[in-house]
Amino acid sequence: MGRHKAILLGISMLTAAISGARQADAQTFRNYRCADGTQFIVAFYDGDKRAFLQIDGEPATLAKRLALSGVRYSGAGITLRIGKTGATTVKHLKRPATACAVI
């Protein structure tokens, strides 16, 4: 019986390796509504320093930038700031920065 178990274990390991099965990266999604009516979704993935937005019906990838307090992401004409207290602002389409809250 031990030989059969070893064969089955080997086959299952080979199948997993061939199919490329792996654990999915952890992810966080947040929905925001801003004072100026803007709504957007932002996604963060473990092991990735970027923020992935869906804003104004368009996707945007923002790189993490240096910030004095909290975190700041920018790219594609968009700047997203998330303070240490969770206060969030977004600036896009040459509009002034506006306060946003998680919905």
Backbone angles phi, psi at 62, to 5 degrees: -110, 135
Note the pLDDT tens digit of each residue in 12-31: 443 444 444 344 567 999 99
Please, which contacts does 45-52 make with residues 24 or more away whose CB atoms are closer than 8 Å? 51/80
All domains of the chain, ordered by start, with CATH?
A: 24-102 (2.40.128.200)
Largest CA distance in the chain: 71
> Tell me, what DSSP letter sits at residue 86?
-
Note the pLDDT tens digit of each residue in 58-80: 999 999 999 999 999 999 999 99
Q: What is the pTM of this model?
A: 0.74
Q: Which residues pair with 42 in a beta bridge?
A: 30, 53
